[in-house]
Amino acid sequence: MTAVSPLQERIRNQLRAQFFEGIQVGERINEAEIAAILGVSRTPVRRALVQLEREGVVSYEANRGFRLLEASRADAAQGQAVTLSLDETVMRDMALGALDGVISERALLARYNATPGGLTSTLRRLMRDQLAEPSPGRGWIFADVGAAALDDGYRFRQIVEPAAILSDLYEVDRSAMEALDGEHARAIDTMETMDSRRLFELDAKFHLMIAQGARSASLVAAIERQNNIRRVNEYLGFGRRERIRQSLTEHRGIMAAIKAGERQLAAALMRIHLQISREETFVHLEEDLESVRSGRVRIGGEDG
């Protein structure tokens, strides 16, 4: 078999992670358009497509070109439970530090016994959330979401989130904040019936809204990035319902101060909230990781 060049593998990864998303099953793949977007000639694009044909992702017909196979789309949509399971398993390994360095797609397929379409869907979601990126010609690099990254993220957030509240022209959508406060109140009342994913999303939504009030796209992007890093590791702690109840109550206090125009108080409460959350995370981190290793807790879903 002909060796795969670094350029060819990079194009292959990009095709699967980016370009196939907008193509319907059976639709012709436009080699010239892809080559123009990637800034390469058609030759390496065609070679990458030939490789994908061998893997059963695309088909080739003389005089008609390459088309996306039905089987590929079926693989990518085997069912929400299967997709979530693969996403969850990859995120678990990220949290446990098992995906260091550059890992080839072939190695990932073997590691997770995954279909090409299923793996592509998971990698696309991780790439969208800035948790993975293709390495030119060599495979995939996964974001560092370990203890050091979490600690750095907390320190960063303790600097920027209180400062955001105190920034010039800070303003939030009051009706949106009222609605979010209502969601918090309902979550506190129904805590025991909510799964970890919904609780985390509510937490992330709060911190994103706080950042949006500063009217800085750079700040919003930074908080979204931090939310994505936390998405992997902090699911671990979302089984401790009393701390989550306390955290949501702290959120409501911060929102109440903002709505009352007491931004100095809101900034101080935010700083305290983040400090408590940091301490709680690291007190239980090893215990939480062991729960994941043993299968008692699932990342991204309900407890096992």
| Whole-number pLDDT of residue 128 | 81
Q: Residue 71 pLDDT > 70, yes or no?
A: no
| Whole-number pLDDT of residue 79 | 42
| Whole-number pLDDT of residue 304 | 44
DSSP characters over 250-299:
HHHHHHHHHHTT-HHHHHHHHHHHHHHHHHHHHHHHHHHHHHHHHTSS-T
Q: Where are the alpha helices (DSSP H) in the chain?
A: 6-17, 31-38, 42-54, 70-76, 80-95, 105-112, 116-128, 147-165, 174-189, 196-212, 217-233, 241-259, 263-294
- Long-range pairs, 93-101, Cβ under 8 A, ≥24: 94/131, 94/142, 94/143, 94/145, 94/232, 95/145, 95/146, 95/232, 95/233, 95/236, 95/289, 95/292, 95/299, 96/289, 96/292, 96/293, 97/146, 99/142, 100/142, 101/141
Question: How sure is the predictor about 81, in pLDDT bands with cuts at 50, 70 and 90?
Answer: very low
| Whole-number pLDDT of residue 237 | 60
Question: How sure is the predictor about 84, in pLDDT bands with cuts at 50, 70 and 90?
Answer: low
| Whole-number pLDDT of residue 114 | 86
Q: Are 213 and 165 in contact (CB under 8 A)?
A: yes
In this predicted model, which residue has the larger pLDDT, 167 or 96?
167
pTM tops 0.75: no
Q: Residue 83 pLDDT > 60, yes or no?
A: no
Give 91-139 pLDDT, tens digit per residue: 888 888 889 889 998 899 999 888 888 888 889 888 888 889 998 777 8
The end-to-end CA distance of the chain, in Å, is 44
| Whole-number pLDDT of residue 223 | 93
Spatial CB neighbours of 71, under 8 Å, sequence gap ≥ 6? 56, 117
* Count of CA atoms in the C-beta half-sphere (13 A) of 105: 30
In this predicted model, which residue has the larger pLDDT, 240 or 47?
47
Q: Residue 271 pLDDT > 90, yes or no?
A: yes
pLDDT, the chain, mean: 82
Token pair in block for residue 47: 């070679």
Q: Residue 266 pLDDT > 90, yes or no?
A: yes
In this predicted model, which residue has the larger pLDDT, 184 or 301?
184
Spatial CB neighbours of 167, under 8 Å, sequence gap ≥ 6? 214, 216
| Whole-number pLDDT of residue 78 | 42
User: How far apart are the C-alpha atoms of 7 and 47, rounded to whole Å?
Assistant: 10
Of 231, 232, 233, 238, nearest to 192 by C-alpha is: 238
How large is the average pLDDT for residues 194-221?
Answer: 89
